[in-house]
Structure 1
């Protein structure tokens, strides 16, 4: 059965009133969101906490965590709430080349090549700037975890090199300092829109295992990239269907209510469509958050 034929297990709704709103691509096409210090969380006392002196003394993230846990305790059968931290990888060599030649030239020629001169963008790795962006992201996470008492999230990652490295630079040292096992789950369906563009053709399973031995690769992950097509680009509808499958897997199997996804520009906007949120462009290396309600189909 193809991804497009798989029945949806959940319907999703992005809940409002918890995180700052940002201009959508329809409202401001050139706007690109940068990571907010608190991931945009709106400080507040929630209804069940209004009369509690204890809750009023907690950090905004502690109060929000308690609220999410209460939502899940009170949820009806078939309902589930999770917080998704959606992060885009840092700058890659493909991003540099597209900026240099312009999007029309990139889309019509350069994206089909493995690289040019000393620059290689097939399954692109991070540039020095991209690594710096990931390191900056790590500082935000460290403050939120250590000072604001945000709960440690379950970690998921696209299998493309730029995301594997971004996750490593964002979380591995922090996990060690928190006594947590650093073991991101690599999911095929979290990868960028597929086909034609060599930057979106993944490396082998063996390469991933050798370079990121602590990562947990999901069952069924093939040795070679069997999804990438040299002569056809994945459609928007196909990408939405594939992302819906990824979300269904995570909501079905992940016990944590707090989930970090290290993914891509188009992948993040496609995910927003799946959860019913307007598309927001993320800057390279940036992260935003959503409270999502899932209802079993």
Structure 2
């Protein structure tokens, strides 16, 4: 596979990096990177040539994320050191209107709503069951937790990160989460014994990282106080309301409206956080929306999976993103007759 010229030069310039030795500590492997600039971007571009997920030939159905260096195209023993050097070089040589970040964009593990959709099929789920809170056997709303499988998926990602750490994978310096519990728990399992407990990294909850707003009860968040009790190591953006002021049982935001709020999340992130490596843990709809905003090719991210993206941001007035504002929200009919369901242990 022929790499873009700029990327080829970057990899050649960093090829002298020695492979990581198993005896080296995580702190030694995670040397201080070149920090990015902070500004509100006018345009985002995916930098291709680093990860398989950026390639037109990528097939998400056959891809094994956890046993292929997360899709990194290089398979050399010094692959992560070369990658890190390339990102450092991009940021050190960027002009004042340009910065680069690596986003690790994760989808939560399987939740009870996913199990319910699988049980009833997507058509019936969207038509009826998604607007209820349960069926007498399962409870999926509001704000369902992970299933046992979902927890296993997150632990598998945690173990994969530990393996890649041995070879020097750059870890995120900031952790951001959707306000929905399934995403927060996925993030917690993934990073608790890597960054949260040993390094004191506190994840930040961002309201606009949530799933498509409206109609589906699984996408209504818990009160802030409930979330804080459930995840005491997390902090909240300011302001953050106690109760969910965005969700409606009768309206659902359009894909254009969702893309607009996703763009606002990215704009705020680039304007306030100079970290070149960032983790976002969210939802399938959020990730699809982010792909649209940055021009990443559409693809499925399976529950518990994630996609690494090297993102270039500029604030040139002449480089403007697609106009995303507007678009009518979806209006639904009356909520289906609720079933009397038992609330079991989730």
Superposed CA deviations along residues 104-156 of structure 1, whole A, max 9, x for unmatched, are 100010000111214111111100000000000101111122x0212220211
Number of the residue aligned with 2:45? 13
Distance 2:161 2:248 in 1: 36
| Structure 1: runs of 5 or more not aligned | 1-7, 45-55
TM normalised by structure 2 equals 0.75
Distance 2:63 2:140 in 1: 24
Number of the residue aligned with 2:313? 294
**Range that drifts further, 126-135 or 267-276:** 267-276
The aligned runs of 1:22-171 (5 Å cut-off) are 31=61, 34-37=64-67, 38-43=69-74, 59-122=78-141, 123-145=143-165, 147-153=166-172, 154-171=174-191
Residues 20 and 42, structure 1, Cα contact 8 Å, conserved in 2: yes
Distance 2:195 2:55 in 1: 33
Residues 23 and 280, structure 1, Cα contact 8 Å, conserved in 2: no
Distance 2:270 2:128 in 1: 39
Question: What is the aligned counterpart of 2:199 among 180, 190, 194?
Answer: 180
Residues 93 and 119, structure 1, Cα contact 8 Å, conserved in 2: yes
Number of the residue aligned with 1:50? none
Superposed CA deviations along residues 8-27 of structure 1, whole A, max 9, x for unmatched, are 743100111110136879x9
Residues 48 and 54, structure 2, Cα contact 8 Å, conserved in 1: no
What is the aligned residue count?
A: 274
Number of the residue aligned with 2:211? 192
Number of the residue aligned with 1:224? 243
Superposed CA deviations along residues 227-267 of structure 1, whole A, max 9, x for unmatched, are 11110111000000000000111111112100111111111
Residues 32 and 282, structure 1, Cα contact 8 Å, conserved in 2: no
CA radius of gyration, larger in: 2
> How large is the RMSD of aligned CA atoms in angstroms?
2.1
Residues 126 and 162, structure 1, Cα contact 8 Å, conserved in 2: yes
Residues 32 and 281, structure 1, Cα contact 8 Å, conserved in 2: no
**Range that drifts further, 59-68 or 256-265:** 59-68
